A and B are shown apart, each in its own frame.
Chain A
């Protein structure tokens, strides 16, 4: 069975929600949203998702080809003010794509380079990252694993709290912070190494540990049971196709490469 790298990443990312139960899952960006939708349709039907506008749905909307919000499976109204009530309760898990991630799991979506008064590149602004990171579980989705994303020092602007002892607020333990998984185009990682070190738990088919290390600006630990990232099942691919009938997922990773790379022998 063939599958794309995007589909492999969506299936890997959907696993972060498997054991969440009745938690509001928010995937920002097409592939993260598809991953959350896949989890709700398969591994965690108790999960909660919105229409990215103002209603909680009992079944997720497709991520492509939707002509109108009319007729969607509304469950309750949930405008943005009410989203924050949920965020601050802790019953949420966000899957987001930061521009920078450092060794502490701190992230940046605000600005790059220069000074804070005059950044070289203005990005989005901190958005909800400070509140999300101190309130509930977060996972990260990185379409292009590189040292530009996984930076050597601290992030240029630290928008979310991570496992940094130097920045730990008074009265808090590092264990109060809940960063779950990082899914990239190369591997899946978590922060369960010694002292919350980022740790590789699975490599995508054909990817080597050296490739991950070469593209990460800091040292990563390796899980004892390092495995190959499981291939999507036929059932998962079927649900993904239903959720993305317009195949928008094919445009998310440059060149839409296959999920299983050809080995040197196969290429010859």
Chain B
């Protein structure tokens, strides 16, 4: 089975109103080239589930988002994501604001076919009042009330990996794979963007095989985009682009999405990469240190 396709072919499964799960964390290992390709389409009214960074910011700024399911949207060194902040303060988007760990539980519930997973998270806070979809349940085993974290099921998950083979076996060599495995397991259809395409023999090395966090039957499409995480990091291949994020912040604050798109988006990913200094410059970005 050969799952290697172009970004635009891969993304053709995404229709108006769908729920999209996006892997990575803040400014780290985000499938940004896939997000940019989505920005070039007419798709709208999306619900986005993410540990959000500029992926969420850009999709909101471009008017493609009806609802964001999030625990944070942040660029770490820039704590407040500028485009998401603007969209929220304009009252433009519906939100389901949950706890970071709760998002993991929601994805697990979807992956396991459970309607919900019971948890203490959210008790005593405004999370429950502001997220009317989240119900409380009684336990058959104790007298406490429990939060029933509902399954969060993406129609499509977008993920960025270090390498993949044509059958969809994905390696993440970064220090953390975050919740990408649960996005892949929860979603009906998972599209990965890989910096490198490898032969299947790559995985014969048990050290490498241990860096495969979900099985190939959870991956439906593979897109080859070296540098595709930019401006987020794809450690150990490259770090995140601090200077570009600052520029992005300035453009979003001054001219908004149109100013950013005019300066950077381009008609293709090649256009985009040229506008940020080319692939070699991306691959030379230093690894982040915390």
Q: Which residues of chain A in 119-146 are interfacial with respect to chain B, using CB atoms and an 8 Å cutoff?
A: 119-131, 133-135
- Closest residue on chain B to residue A114 by CB atoms: B89
Stretch touching chain B among A52-60, A183-191, A193-201, A225-233: A52-60
| Of the residues B84, B122, B125, B290, contact of A52 by C-beta under 8 Å | B290
A134 contact set on B, CB distance < 8 A? 120-124
Structural contact, A122 and B88, CB atoms closer than 8 A = yes
Structural contact, A169 and B84, CB atoms closer than 8 A = no
Contact count band on B: 35 or more
Structural contact, B89 and A131, CB atoms closer than 8 A = no
- Closest residue on chain B to residue A167 by CB atoms: B124
Structural contact, A127 and B289, CB atoms closer than 8 A = no
Tell me the minimal C-beta distance from B30 to chain A in angstroms.
15
A-B contact pairs, 26 of them (CB 8 A): A54-B176, A80-B176, A81-B104, A110-B126, A115-B91, A118-B88, A118-B91, A119-B88, A125-B70, A128-B71, A130-B127, A131-B102, A131-B121, A131-B122, A135-B120, A158-B124, A159-B126, A160-B125, A161-B124, A161-B125, A162-B124, A164-B124, A167-B124, A170-B145, A172-B123, A172-B124
Docked pose: A106 CA to B125 CA in angstroms? 8
Structural contact, A170 and B130, CB atoms closer than 8 A = no
Asked if A248 is at the interface of the complex by the 8 Å CB criterion, the answer is no
Contact A121:B100 (CB < 8 A) given known A53-B290, A134-B124: no
A162 contact set on B, CB distance < 8 A? 124
Contact with A along B69-81 (1 / 0, CB 8 A): 0111110000110
Structural contact, A122 and B85, CB atoms closer than 8 A = yes
Tell me the minimal C-beta distance from B191 to chain A in angstroms.
22
Structural contact, B290 and A51, CB atoms closer than 8 A = yes
Contact A68:B289 (CB < 8 A) given known A118-B91, A126-B71: yes
Docked pose: A120 CA to B90 CA in angstroms? 9
- The A interface is mostly helix, strand or loop, or mixed, namely loop
Structural contact, A172 and B101, CB atoms closer than 8 A = no
- Closest residue on chain B to residue A65 by CB atoms: B289
Tell me the minimal C-beta distance from A26 to chain B in angstroms.
13
Structural contact, A119 and B126, CB atoms closer than 8 A = no
Most buried by B among A79, A135, A162, A169: A169
Most buried by A among B84, B121, B122: B121
- Closest residue on chain B to residue A85 by CB atoms: B101
Asked if A175 is at the interface of the complex by the 8 Å CB criterion, the answer is no
Asked if A262 is at the interface of the complex by the 8 Å CB criterion, the answer is no
Structural contact, B101 and A88, CB atoms closer than 8 A = yes
Asked if A66 is at the interface of the complex by the 8 Å CB criterion, the answer is yes
- Closest residue on chain B to residue A135 by CB atoms: B120
Docked pose: A168 CA to B73 CA in angstroms? 29
Tell me the minimal C-beta distance from A74 to chain B in angstroms.
10
B130 contact set on A, CB distance < 8 A? 116, 157
Structural contact, A121 and B89, CB atoms closer than 8 A = yes
Asked if B206 is at the interface of the complex by the 8 Å CB criterion, the answer is no
Docked pose: A21 CA to B178 CA in angstroms? 28
What are the 4 tightest A-B residue pairs by CB atom distance, in nearest-first order? A118-B91, A161-B124, A171-B144, A125-B72
